[in-house]
Amino acid sequence: MSIGQQILFFFSAIGAFNGLLIGVYLLLFKKQKSAATYFLGLLLLTLSMRIGKAILNYFYPELPRLYLQIGLSACFLIGPSLYYFTRAALTQLKKVPISWKYAYGFWVISITIIGIIVPYSSHPWDWNHYIVHLIYAQWSGHFFATGWLLRNQLSKLFSRQEKLSANEKSILSVFGGNTVIFLIYHIVFFWSFSSVYIAGALFFSMLLYLNVPIFLNRNKARTGFLSTEESLRYSNKKISEEQAAQMAQKLQDMIITGELYKNADLKLNDLAKLFRTSSHTLSQLLNDNIKQSFSTYINQYRIQKACELISGHSPLRLEEIGYEVGFNSKSTFYTAFKKHTGMTPTLFRDKNLQ
């Protein structure tokens, strides 16, 4: 290889190698484990094996086909690893549910049996024309299912009213990196752009080093999906039901009296300052005790006021009512209204007119 190719090989291979090391560390040596820790370890292992296969095939195409089979088999487990990691991280599970173990074990056993019955070394045509399509279809299914799990967190990226927690940012960082890798290898798979092939390995190396604090839990931000001990400390500080009831009533009175919901730019931090508490405490009150997100909680007051205006035959148009009660767009108003009342503002107005 030329010097340029050697440098390219080094930077692409170093990510796969270190990904294997971090994956083994999370699975075997990390002291405080959660369910998400195990699946993050599996995700790094499978990604590293898939990336390693791409590197070897790109620089050393004459190597035995066994390497290709191992890499493609690992690719079969990327989707399930990402999906179960996300589910575990969002709910901060301590232990892996038995049903998840059976489901993940099913995929492991399936690809193992396929590899034994139809080995790549003697059946390359079957792998390239059938099995690889099955692998990528299964990967795609789990990837889009993961995206659906994260729909609320993804919507927060474009919301002015809610901010992502440190835990949610970490999860989205992992998902975002997987999204790019997913797209790169699907582009290579469907359009055979060999120049893009090694880009996946290079991006994985960059992604790995950018997220080392997340994977090893060495930063100050709370990544609850990696630290069971820290999650326990957090749960021990939950607001009591009696105190939560008093705080909720006080918060409700403040919002209604001051008509704070009419502020379309109202954010969690702003409300926390007015309530004279920390954003962490307010978020905990809303999510753990009231069981509502910030946007859902504020929108219920906006919809309640909108219903009063519509029922009182306000001369304002429906769109104007939406702006009046604090929504910053017609579509947001209509979506929230239907979510809270089960009908559109137009249908609600027609029923009141009848």
Residues in CB range of 83: below 8 A, 6 or more apart: 142, 143, 145, 146, 149
Domain assignment of residue 248, yes or no = yes
Is a pLDDT exceeding 60 seen at residue 194?
A: no
Is a pLDDT exceeding 50 seen at residue 221?
A: no
Are residue 208 and residue 318 in the same domain, yes or no?
A: no
Which tens digit of pLDDT belongs to each residue from 29-42?
Answer: 877 678 888 998 99
Domain assignment of residue 26, yes or no = yes
Per-residue model confidence (pLDDT) at position 262: 92
Are residue 26 and residue 94 in the same domain, yes or no?
A: yes
Are residue 30 and residue 137 in the same domain, yes or no?
A: yes
CB 9 within 8 A of CB 202: no
Domain-ending residue, one of 177, 196, 227: 227
Q: Among candidates 194, 206, 248, which has minimal Cα distance to 58? A: 194
Are residue 133 and residue 221 in the same domain, yes or no?
A: yes
Domain assignment of residue 236, yes or no = no
| pLDDT-based confidence at residue 199 (cuts at 50, 70, 90) | low
Are residue 336 and residue 269 in the same domain, yes or no?
A: yes
Domain-ending residue, one of 165, 197, 227: 227
Cα dihedral: 99, 104, 106, 112 (round 10): -160
Are residue 219 and residue 253 in the same domain, yes or no?
A: no
| pLDDT-based confidence at residue 222 (cuts at 50, 70, 90) | very low
| pLDDT-based confidence at residue 92 (cuts at 50, 70, 90) | confident
Residues in CB range of 296: below 8 A, 6 or more apart: none
Which tens digit of pLDDT belongs to each residue from 278-322?
Answer: 888 888 888 888 888 888 899 999 999 999 998 888 888 898 998
Q: What is the domain-level CATH number for residue 296?
A: 1.10.10.60
CA distances from 235 to 54, 92, 245 (A): 43, 11, 18
Domain assignment of residue 234, yes or no = no
Domain assignment of residue 149, yes or no = yes
Residues in CB range of 244: below 8 A, 6 or more apart: 285, 289, 290
Is a pLDDT exceeding 90 seen at residue 114?
A: yes
Q: What is the domain-level CATH number for residue 38?
A: 1.20.1070.10
3-state SS of the chain is CCHHHHHHHHHHHHHHHHHHHHHHHHHHHCCCCCHHHHHHHHHHHHHHHHHHHHHHHHHCCCCCCHHHHHHHHHHCCHHHHHHHHHHHHHHCCCCCCHHHHHHHHHHHHHHHHHHHHCCCCCCHHHHHHHHHHHHHHHHHHHHHHHHHHCHHHHHHCCCCCCCCCHHHHHHHHHHHHHHHHHHHHHHHHHHCCHHHHHHHHHHHHHHHHHCHHHHHCCCCCCCCCCCHHHHHHHHHCCCCHHHHHHHHHHHHHHHHHHCHHHCCCCCHHHHHHHHCCCHHHHHHHHHHHHCCCHHHHHHHHHHHHHHHHHHCCCCCCHHHHHHHCCCCCHHHHHHHHHHHHCCCHHHHHHHHHC
Domain-ending residue, one of 167, 198, 227: 227
Are residue 332 and residue 260 in the same domain, yes or no?
A: yes
Number of domains composing the chain = 2
Domain that residue 40 falls in: 3-227
Domain assignment of residue 233, yes or no = no
Are residue 100 and residue 190 in the same domain, yes or no?
A: yes
Are residue 191 and residue 90 in the same domain, yes or no?
A: yes
Are residue 209 and residue 258 in the same domain, yes or no?
A: no
Domain assignment of residue 158, yes or no = yes
Residues in the chain: 354
CB 247 within 8 A of CB 239: yes
Is a pLDDT exceeding 70 seen at residue 146?
A: yes
Are residue 87 and residue 219 in the same domain, yes or no?
A: yes
